[in-house]
Chain A
Amino acid sequence: GAVVSQHPSWVICKSGTSVKIECRSLDFQATTMFWYRQFPKQSLMLMATSNEGSKATYEQGVEKDKFLINHASLTLSTLTVTSAHPEDSSFYICSAPTGGTQETQYFGPGTRLLVL
Chain B
Amino acid sequence: SQELEQSPQSLIVQEGKNLTINCTSSKTLYGLYWYKQKYGEGLIFLMMLQKGGEEKSHEKITAKLDEKKQQSSLHITASQPSHAGIYLCGAHPYSSASKIIFGSGTRLSIRP
B side interface size, CB within 8 A: 19
Q: Are A43 and B100 in contact (CB under 8 A)?
A: no
Q: Using an 8 Å CB-CB cutoff, how does the interface string of A4-34 with B read, 1 for contact, 0 for none?
A: 0010000000000000000000000000101
Q: Are A106 and B105 in contact (CB under 8 A)?
A: no
A side interface size, CB within 8 A: 24
Partner of A49, one of B42, B90, B99: B99
Q: Using an 8 Å CB-CB cutoff, how does the interface string of A99-116 with B read, 1 for contact, 0 for none?
A: 000011111111010000
Chain B residue at minimal CB-CB distance from A45: B102
* Complex: A22 Cα to B88 Cα, angstroms: 24
Q: Are A105 and B100 in contact (CB under 8 A)?
A: yes
Q: Are A108 and B42 in contact (CB under 8 A)?
A: yes
Q: Are B100 and A46 in contact (CB under 8 A)?
A: yes
* Complex: A94 Cα to B28 Cα, angstroms: 25
Please classify the interface of chain A as helix (H, G, I), strand (E, B), loop, or mixed, using the class held by over half of its residues: strand
| A43-B105, A91-B40, A109-B41 known; A103 vs B88 contact (CB < 8 Å) | no
Contacts of A105 in B (CB 8 A): 33, 45, 98, 100
Q: Are B40 and A34 in contact (CB under 8 A)?
A: no
Contacts of B107 in A (CB 8 A): 41
Q: Using an 8 Å CB-CB cutoff, how does the interface string of B100-112 with A read, 1 for contact, 0 for none?
A: 1111110100000
Asked whether B48 is an interface residue with its Cβ less than 8 Å from the other chain, the reply is yes
Interface residues of B (CB under 8 A from A): 33, 35, 40-43, 45, 48, 88, 90, 98-105, 107
Q: List 7 A-B contacts (CB under 8 A).
A: A6-B42, A36-B102, A46-B102, A104-B48, A105-B33, A107-B42, A110-B41
For the complex with contacts A41-B107, A110-B40, A110-B41, 6 further pairs of A-B residues with Cβ separation under 8 Å are A36-B102, A45-B102, A95-B100, A105-B33, A107-B42, A109-B42
